Structure 1
Amino acid sequence: MTNPIAPPPGKSVEIPITVRFGDTDPYGVVYFASYFRYCHQGIEEFFRHLGLAPQEIFRNTEEGFGLPIVEASCSFHKPVRYGESLRLAVYIMQARSKVLTFGFYFYPSEGDALIAHGEATLVAIDRSWQSRSLPDELRQVLQPYVPPLQHS
């Protein structure tokens, strides 16, 4: 059986995820909300991989800049249980002047059978919570990970 979801386009950052007891429901299967926590962890590690401090990206009080998540989704293909290990591939689906959309692919630690996939959209805001352009410094660092034709 082939996967209906294409592999991550372009460059991605992979991080390991270990399923903890608190990540699971009463049946021992990863609870859906845990995937969103994994996705956020993936974004943090993506920024760290690029040499950026996540705490200065999500909320930078000195520059009056923030990057909250405004939309997120996830589709689940296979159950995952307590104690299992996953690989999370994090990539940029889209980068626009004020918006970043990250994609997430969850795989078992060994193999390429897709377990889940999702996305999260972040919008740049200023001190008054109004949208603003992404800082030029951030755009430059992200550039090698932005898919072709998405450099607006």
Structure 2
Amino acid sequence: MGKTTTMNVDIRFGDCDPAGIVFFPRYHRWMDAASLNFFMAQGVPPWHELEHTRGIVGTPLLEHHARFVKSATYGERLTITTSIVEWRPKVFLQKHVVMRGDDLICESTETRIFVVRDEKDRRRIRAIPVPEDIRALCE
């Protein structure tokens, strides 16, 4: 496995449903933030800078598979460990493991792509091959 990063999340009251359990979309939001955190920790500029300098808008999701093991609630701190577990020509698989201390809360594997804006219709995006320099920073 390549490089890994960790990101802490402090759960707030507003992150929870009426039963006091973290509402599942919050995990997806946190894992998306952990994905960007991973790249920035390896020296990759934030997406808004890369779009300006290289046209790369970001790494949107193609697939997301999550397995929830235990619940969490407000006042707790979670740690998200992120790594890239597989590189392919145009996609990569990123894994997130969410822990509360020694307890596994959730784990997820995402399939993502690098994209640029379409030249003919700037509202649309299109996939590009994984940039080799970014891959090298992350391996």
TM-score bucket of the superposed structures, by smaller chain = 0.7 to 0.9
**Alignment partner of 1:127 is 2:117:** yes
* SS of corresponding position for 2:7: strand
Shift in alpha-carbon separation, 1:56–1:136, aligned structure 2, 3 A: farther
Instruction: Give runs of ≥4 in structure 1 deviating > 3 Å.
Output: none
Normalised to the residue count of structure 1, the TM-score between the two structures is 0.77
- Residue in structure 2 matched with residue 136 of structure 1 by the alignment: 132
- Residues of 1 paired with 2:23 and 2:31: CA distance? 13
Task: Return 5+ residue gaps in structure 1 as ranges.
Answer: 1-8, 144-152
Task: Return 5+ residue gaps in structure 2 as ranges.
Answer: 119-124
Residue 33 (structure 1) aligned to one of 22, 25, 30: 25
* SS of corresponding position for 2:108: strand
Superposed CA offset, 1:84-127 (max 9, x none): 1111111112111211211011111x32x211111222112232
Number of aligned residues? 132
> RMSD of the alignment, in Å?
1.8
- How much identity, in percent, do the aligned residues show? 27
Residue 69 (structure 1) aligned to one of 61, 64, 67: 61
Structure holding more strand per residue: 2
- Residues of 2 paired with 1:125 and 1:39: CA distance? 19
Normalised to the residue count of structure 2, the TM-score between the two structures is 0.84
* SS of corresponding position for 2:38: helix
